[in-house]
Structure 1
Amino acid sequence: MGDPYILMLVALAALAILDLVVGVSNDAVNFLNSAIGSKAIPIKTIMIIASVGVFFGAATSSGMMEVARKGIFNPNMFMFEEIMYIFMAVMITDILLLDIFNSLGMPTSTTVSIVFELLGAAVAVALIKISASDTQTIADIWSYINDKKATEIILGIVISVVVAFSVGAIVQYFSRLIYSFNFEKRPVYINALFGGFAITAITYFIIIKGLKGTQFYGSIKDIIENNSIGIIAGSFAFWSALSYFLIKVLKSNILVVIIAIGTFSLAMAFAGNDLVNFIGVPIAALNSYDAWEASGLPANEFSMGILAKKVPSNILLLFVAGAIMVITLWRSKKARAVIETGINLSRQGDGQEKFKPNNVSRIVVRAAMFTNMGFNYLIPEKTQKFINSKFEKPVVKLPKDKTYELPAFDLVRAAVNLIMASILISIATSMKLPLSTTYVTFMVAMGTSLADRAWGRESAVYRVAGVLNVIGGWFLTAIIAFTAAGIVAYLISWDIVMIPVFLLLVIGMLVRTSLQYSKKEKEKKEQQFVERAELISINEVIEESSGHIGNVATRVNKLYSSVVNDLANHDLNKLRKTEKHVLKLNEEIEALKNGMFYFIKSLDDSSVKASKFYILILGYLQDVAQSISYISKATFNHVNNNHKNLKKSQLKDLKAIDNTLTDLLQNISDTFETKSFDNLINILDEKKELLNDVSKSIERQVDRIRTDETSAKNTTLYFSILLETQDLVSGLISLLDSYNEFYISTKSVNAI
């Protein structure tokens, strides 16, 4: 009788390991963003500090494990068999959901997902029980669900979003008024007091309040709770004095020290608060199994009221979980993608934006601008000038041979992010509320970004759109988690054979998303359009532009051939795929143009004249991409509308043009990949043959129209392809002419 449940426990243990991996990949953003974004500490050092924090946090998470057992549903209303179905459904759904968000590079909440999965699965099983009962109705659902605690948790999560954003913005605003952007010039006592406040806040709420979740707290409870004010005052005095010593004597940057301690504390708070999300359910399942096995009752007759009692967690299991989290932290590539999203939305200044603006973001920005105008009208001009002086950003001046990439934001903002997030999360943890660490850290970072004027006129509409997308993803998480967990729980209750089916689905989905992610990363061109202070020489301009040209030529070659072949076969599915590849090409070229400002800004004095050349090259590449885009779109629409296929003579002409164009594009690709620019003259001579082929094809089609052509749609498509091919070739010729002239002039200058 016990065999199926032992196997389920084994499956839950395996799922817990997988959940730790995908969960940490998502939540690493919570405690690494500030340190990495500010470049305050080397990445390896950051990872070591965070790893130690995770280990300490694992030891303080036992108090949070109660949520998985009795926080969402009333365990006494369910039998052991039903509880195991609920737990299996929750873990399966959690892994699939988090892995999807990780693959998209979107931070979501592991807390929200686990809460709504428990709620969805419990509701589904409760409805099954009610439907099988002659005495119960749908109104009895509330006897199964711990609605008071569930509502408290959900409201706490929602309120935390507003509180985190508001508190982050307010604290950052006043911190900037105190520090300005020239924080290195602030008096020692200001840095010492700030260090005292920051470290006191972190140590009190993380270490002292964090102990509340452990078995050691009982022996020191009275001392801490009866002397809170004295402990805080003494800590402030001690840490302020120590900060003064570090700054004055050891010449340390106290902000770097705060960031290091903050990273440790936030990693510790994350593990203390979020470990329940990954292993709370399997541990609750183990406790349930032990109680049921000792009872000797059938699985469908043993009530799980035992889960309502407090059960001490196994410290060994917590540390094993901590070890898995640390390994994932060091190894996960998906974690980096999620981290990039958070840093991208909070960085100081403009750059390549990940999100596209929408109507809501535009309305929000306009409303904010209008509100700001109102405040400016009320605040005296002298006060405005004083405030604005505190927000003036310093200009970075470096020797010409120095390479340096500016951080996403400075040390002051990084310190505030870590301090405020640590305090808010620790307060919630001490109250045994499974607060979403993702929501808190993300919204604190967004609040500090807004207060720090990181969202200027150039970037605000994109940043707001990004925040709205992420928040929308959070609500989507709750809806999907509730619905999916309910469906899985129902199917498992219907037949236990669905468990191995779902386990195979989990494995298949994880393998599939990993392969897709690896493929995507492999294809992705590694270019970061950030504000740089390194200088680009004229040879690097040639290197950069030749790489773009070779890449575009290769891809256009494949795309054009695909369109011609798929049109001949009337293959709609392949044309649809080609459309996606064409769209991706256009987006990448548009991204290059968006990064043009930073590229030109980084040119050294001897290479400034090359800026016009670079602008022209990108313009010609965009013309070529737009031509292939029009050809692909027109062809797709023709086939999608079920119009007649082109005649054999027309397809034969297109195939001949495709063959000639293939040779031309292949030569261009080879030339720019091998940097054999002396071959450009020969390639330019090949253009005549191709243009002649296009011109003759147009003439032949005119003759067909006057004799035997009967389809207006075919004629429209055919002429569209030929004319756009002509424009495509013209764009290539202009590009090659410009490149040849620039190469010859550069060669002449280098020879002198």
Structure 2
Amino acid sequence: METIYLVIVGVLFLLAISDLVVGVSNDAVNFLNSAIGARIASFKVILSIAALGVFVGASFSGGMMEVARKGIFNPQFFLFEEIMIVFLAVMLTDIIILDLFNTFGLPTSTTVSIVFELLGAAIGVAVIKSFKNPEMVVADYINSAKALAIISGILLSVAISFTVGVITQFITRLIFSFNFKNRLKYLGGLWGGIAITAITYFLIVKGVKNATFISDSIRIWVTENAGIVISYSLIFWTLILQVLYWLFNFNILKFTVLTGTFALAMAFAGNDLVNFIGVPLAGLESFKIFKASGAPTATLLMDSLAGEIHTQAYLLVLAGLIMVITLWTSKKAKKVVQTSIDLGRQTEGEERFGSSFFARSIVRGSIAVSNSINQFIPTGIRNFINRQFDSSKYEEERQKLGKEAPSFDALRASVNLVVASILIAYATSMKLPLSTTYVTFMVAMGTSLADRAWGRESAVYRITGVVSVIGGWFLTAFSAATIAFMMATIMMFGGNYAIIALILLAAFMVYRTQVITKKQEKEIKRFQEMEIEDVNGEISSLKVLEKCQLNISEIINDLLKLYSNTLSYFEAEDRKHLKECVKEVDSLNKRTKKLKANIYNTVRKLQEDSVDSGLFYVQVIDYLRETVHSLTFIVKPCFEHLDNNHKVFSEDQFEEINILEGKIRSLLIKSYNMINKSDFTLLPELAEEQSNIIEVIKGMRKKQLKRIKKEKAGTKISMLYLSVLHETQNMLLHLINLLKAQRDFVKAIKEKKE
């Protein structure tokens, strides 16, 4: 029996390494979003500072097993074999949940996940124990106070962080405006002093408390004299920053943001490290207690586990190294960070989230309230506020930077970090269970709202995104508790076989998310390749034509492949490959949707003398989108028909369809070559060929109608057959219009060059 528990301890530590990776990927948003969003420095510099903060925080962490020690469950009522099942269920669940959230780019709380996993797994074991021992009920084994505190912390942190973020950013922008460079000459030192002092206080409260390298006497003195430290810090930083600005034009905001990034990264590693390695360490400690006692597993109660558990220094350093490496290499971390940045960016653009009834209702209500309030505000005050929040000059400067443009300015980034630092530090000093993820995210959303980043063009999408993320936090708690409960219950009943099966299941789930991530990366790379690069915020019409030609030829090639494959897989009743066609056509739709969504930015960046050619570009993209839409209405109905196990076409119908497919293939190949070579001399002949194919389609329709009249074809198959013919005809019509628009586009560019 000892061997299986040794294996479990080994698995726990392997899972701890994996948990460190997925945990950092998830929590990187806490300390990276402000610096990256404001492009305050190069990506490598930001990561270097964050990595240093992570390593220092991890290395000097107290390593206390907070969650396991302070009582989600009462360990004195659990046997050794039961406690090991609880810990294994927790770690397996944690890996699955965090990895899934990271894969889809949604930030969640590692604290909440670990607490509710412990709660769910402990309840699963406690339910079985209560059946065996009716004298004790489930509530005796569980301390629900911690879970209730976490839930209240979620609600508290969401509301307070968002509100404080809105108010602070509004006041800050009212003072500095978007053209803050001139005002920094006089107020920069004071703002920097307040910001760095707040960050210093944050480091004292969050860092000194648990740092092992600081003696107890220093820790006590700093804690008792926090007011003096803060006062001197404010005076010192205000004076030194103002002097540096006057003498060397020192970038106060950049220094503030980078310092805040280091502080939050250090606090994250120092405090959240136990979320990743705490449970495996508790498992190791349990195994040591078991070995030392010599008692059988069926009688050994784990009352010794209620004490403090400290971590070896080398384990903390090793954990820090893993976290740093993950921070540098994790693509999932960048995706989670991007979600937060996109929801808070100052400008419009492609929105990741859609609209929802809840978001629309909030926006309508907010507009009505705003209009009512404006009636009571004097015109002079309204005009003053509008001037302070006028971002037109900022937008002009931002456009000139092109791809290097920040999502928001450095002033807002500094407010994000300062407000988050103060709230987290205050909550810690008051022993309130606020989550760093919730605080940093909601502060960022509050500051973006105050900065009028959520205009009427984007508000519904941003609100939907925020609600989706918040909903994900609550989903984390429910999912974590439920899955951990199920895993612990299965292991209690299934024994060693169940343990092995669940470990393999977790490994398979992680593997699947990696596959999904790689597919997403390919999709993102494809989207990036479709974008048109600008120079100093401008794009030449020739560059638009070149990229347009490349994108169209690729999409027509995919169109040809998907149309032919769909009909052949349908004839072979190959459901698996037809489903792949559905996924590919969805990807094709996203690509054309991306092109259409980027029309505004492309036309806006066109050089002044190239605006006329933008008309042809818009026409080309519109026809391309409609062509792909027609293909979608061929592929998806074919799959749904086959998926519902309906009969496929008859031999006569397939014979007609295959003849049609050959003609379509020929026309698409000629279209592809025409686009590739930019030679449209044979376009009239191609248009004639298109007309002939449409006549063939009409003939096929007549034959099908005769079959229906003679009742030789069923309803489902007849509707699908006619639908395929109709959408094929639409596809041809849009395709020829696309070629004509591209011809006119090429002609306009040539005339301009001449």
For the residues of structure 2 that align with 1:638 and 1:297, how far apart are their CA atoms? Answer: 64
Look up the match of 1:578: 581
For the residues of structure 2 that align with 1:48 and 1:612, how far apart are their CA atoms? Answer: 46
Once the two structures are TM-superposed, the CA of residue 705 in structure 1 deviates from its matched residue by: 4.0
- Contact 1:36–1:43 (8 Å) recurs in 2: yes
Look up the match of 1:322: 320
Structural mapping, 1:155-554, within 5 Å: 155-215=152-212, 216=214, 218-395=216-393, 397=396, 405-429=404-428, 435-494=434-493, 495-524=495-524, 525-527=526-528, 534-554=537-557
1:19/1:640 CA distance change after superposition, 3 Å = closer
Which ranges in structure 1 are unaligned for 5 or more consecutive residues?
none
- Partner deviation per Cα, 1:696-727 (whole Å, 9 max, x = no partner): 34225425644756336344433332232222
Once the two structures are TM-superposed, the CA of residue 509 in structure 1 deviates from its matched residue by: 2.1
- Partner deviation per Cα, 1:155-193 (whole Å, 9 max, x = no partner): 223311111111111111111111110110105331111
Select between 173-182 and 710-719 the one with higher mean Cα deviation: 710-719
Look up the match of 2:635: 632
For the residues of structure 2 that align with 1:640 and 1:89, how far apart are their CA atoms? Answer: 37
For the residues of structure 2 that align with 1:261 and 1:483, how far apart are their CA atoms? Answer: 40
SS at match of 2:70: helix
1:443/1:293 CA distance change after superposition, 3 Å = same
For the residues of structure 2 that align with 1:108 and 1:117, how far apart are their CA atoms? Answer: 14
For the residues of structure 2 that align with 1:291 and 1:15, how far apart are their CA atoms? Answer: 21
Look up the match of 2:6: 6
- Contact 2:65–2:308 (8 Å) recurs in 1: no
For the residues of structure 2 that align with 1:551 and 1:339, how far apart are their CA atoms? Answer: 31
Select between 235-244 and 639-648 the one with higher mean Cα deviation: 639-648
Once the two structures are TM-superposed, the CA of residue 95 in structure 1 deviates from its matched residue by: 0.4
1:606/1:375 CA distance change after superposition, 3 Å = same
Once the two structures are TM-superposed, the CA of residue 380 in structure 1 deviates from its matched residue by: 2.0
Amino acid aligned to 2:275: N
Alignment coverage as a number of residue pairs = 745
- Contact 1:529–1:598 (8 Å) recurs in 2: no
SS at match of 1:166: helix
Which ranges in structure 2 are unaligned for 5 or more consecutive residues?
none
1:720/1:497 CA distance change after superposition, 3 Å = closer
Look up the match of 2:713: 711
Question: Does residue 149 in structure 1 map to residue 152 in structure 2?
Answer: no
For the residues of structure 1 that align with 2:184 and 2:514, how far apart are their CA atoms? Answer: 51
For the residues of structure 2 that align with 1:218 and 1:398, how far apart are their CA atoms? Answer: 51
Once the two structures are TM-superposed, the CA of residue 443 in structure 1 deviates from its matched residue by: 0.7
1:323/1:379 CA distance change after superposition, 3 Å = same
1:336/1:391 CA distance change after superposition, 3 Å = same
- Contact 2:149–2:433 (8 Å) recurs in 1: no
* Equivalent residue in structure 1 for 2:616, among 595, 613, 618: 613
For the residues of structure 1 that align with 2:646 and 2:9, how far apart are their CA atoms? Answer: 58
Select between 545-554 and 276-285 the one with higher mean Cα deviation: 545-554
- Contact 1:272–1:429 (8 Å) recurs in 2: no
Look up the match of 2:654: 651
- Partner deviation per Cα, 1:120-179 (whole Å, 9 max, x = no partner): 00111111111111423xxx3222112223322332233111111111111111111111
1:64/1:443 CA distance change after superposition, 3 Å = farther
Amino acid aligned to 1:543: E
1:238/1:512 CA distance change after superposition, 3 Å = same
Select between 279-288 and 475-484 the one with higher mean Cα deviation: 279-288
SS at match of 1:213: coil
Once the two structures are TM-superposed, the CA of residue 75 in structure 1 deviates from its matched residue by: 1.5
- Contact 1:71–1:150 (8 Å) recurs in 2: no
1:85/1:399 CA distance change after superposition, 3 Å = closer
Look up the match of 1:555: 558
- Contact 2:29–2:340 (8 Å) recurs in 1: yes
Question: Does residue 731 in structure 1 map to residue 726 in structure 2?
Answer: no
Structural mapping, 1:627-706, within 5 Å: 627-636=630-639, 638-639=641-642, 644-672=647-675, 675-678=676-679, 680-682=680-682, 685-703=685-703, 705-706=705-706
TM-score scaled by length of structure 1: 0.94
Once the two structures are TM-superposed, the CA of residue 744 in structure 1 deviates from its matched residue by: 3.0
Once the two structures are TM-superposed, the CA of residue 577 in structure 1 deviates from its matched residue by: 4.4
Once the two structures are TM-superposed, the CA of residue 273 in structure 1 deviates from its matched residue by: 2.3
- Contact 2:327–2:333 (8 Å) recurs in 1: yes
- Partner deviation per Cα, 1:590-619 (whole Å, 9 max, x = no partner): 332222111100001221111101110011
1:541/1:321 CA distance change after superposition, 3 Å = same
For the residues of structure 1 that align with 2:410 and 2:334, how far apart are their CA atoms? Answer: 21
- Contact 1:353–1:462 (8 Å) recurs in 2: yes
- Contact 2:398–2:405 (8 Å) recurs in 1: no
Amino acid aligned to 2:93: T
Once the two structures are TM-superposed, the CA of residue 370 in structure 1 deviates from its matched residue by: 1.9
